[in-house]
Amino acid sequence: MENTIWYLEDRKEIDRKSCKNRLEKYKLVPEIVEGLCFQDGANLEEAYSSVPLLCGHGGSDGLHGYVHSLEYAVNDVKVYVEKVVAENPDFPCFLFGHSTGGAIALKAALDPKMEALVNGIILSAPAIQVQTSHPIVGVLAPVFSFLVPKYQFGAASKTGLPVCRDPEALVTKYSDPLVYTGPIRIRTGSEILHISSHLQQNQCRLNLPFLVLHGTADTVTDPEGSQRLYDEAASVDKSIKLYDGFLHDLLFEPEREDIARDMIDWLTTRYGSCFK
């Protein structure tokens, strides 16, 4: 796929000339890192560059919903950012990550080499602090992920998790066959807990400008994790938006246009000329 790039709105491949025209219009390069149970067409409009999907996600290869190691995804982000920045040296580059994708983007951003390539990051409900059903889950997860990594408790549910307050948006999301609706696989869950633990111990080293967004009623990832990131990160330029009563998928909430505007305003404040 050397001559193509993903266009996230409709999952079509478009040539680099078309993509280049759009980049010249906005004069910045957005890198999108998706989360678990998310896929490339899900309400990400006007995005013209993305890292490849996680193995087992969307239309990618692999067992649906199974991630052997999130470190592979972190490394993919780094390699892809280097590639895109090399192809677009005159444009600022920003990472956007949602949920597990937010954790992946954040861990990649902690690499000192990334500070020279990325101008900032926007995190939507990042999986920095994950809510488990019982504390023992975190203790046993590494053991069971080794013994039965692909096992999942329960059966698939087409209704999915209640991740937003917009019923129509939920139907749209979970009607997409590329969106994973099954119970989390043991290895995948263990990997999420592992990267979350790493971030809690190392997020104080973050120096890049960032905006973190979280709904206070999120039951998938804990908004307290986002607050801790804001409090502990070494970044001088840092912002947090906590939306009272909002759930996990902020870009599916009824107020999604306001949330998108908050992100655009944050970008415009720093690179206003890119939007002229």
Stretch 174-201: mean pLDDT: 86
Least confident piece of the model among 53-67, 141-155, 261-275: 53-67
pLDDT score, position 125: 96
CATH class given for the domain over 4-271: alpha beta
More confident residue, 75 or 148: 75
Strand 210-215 and strand 120-124: the pairing is parallel
Q: At 34, is the pLDDT very low, low, confident or very high (cuts 50, 70, 90)?
A: low
Q: At 174, is the pLDDT very low, low, confident or very high (cuts 50, 70, 90)?
A: confident
pLDDT score, position 274: 61
Q: At 160, is the pLDDT very low, low, confident or very high (cuts 50, 70, 90)?
A: low
More confident residue, 127 or 34: 127
**Distance of CA 275 to CAs 29, 123, 239, Å?**
12, 21, 20
List CB contacts of 170: < 8 A, sequence separation 6 or more: 159, 160, 162, 163, 164, 252
pLDDT score, position 144: 78
Strand 12-15 and strand 4-7: the pairing is antiparallel
Domain ranges of the chain: 4-271
| pLDDT at residue 118 tops 60 | yes
pLDDT score, position 16: 42
Angstrom distance (rounded) from CA 55 to CA 49: 18
| pLDDT at residue 275 tops 60 | no
> pTM score, two decimals?
0.80
| pLDDT at residue 111 tops 60 | yes
Tokens of 267: 């970008």
Least confident piece of the model among 44-58, 73-87, 206-220: 44-58
pLDDT score, position 178: 75
Tokens of 83: 């590639």
More confident residue, 77 or 31: 77
Q: Give me the residue label for tokens 């305003």.
A: 265
Q: At 113, is the pLDDT very low, low, confident or very high (cuts 50, 70, 90)?
A: very high
pLDDT score, position 42: 44
More confident residue, 276 or 103: 103
Q: At 154, is the pLDDT very low, low, confident or very high (cuts 50, 70, 90)?
A: low
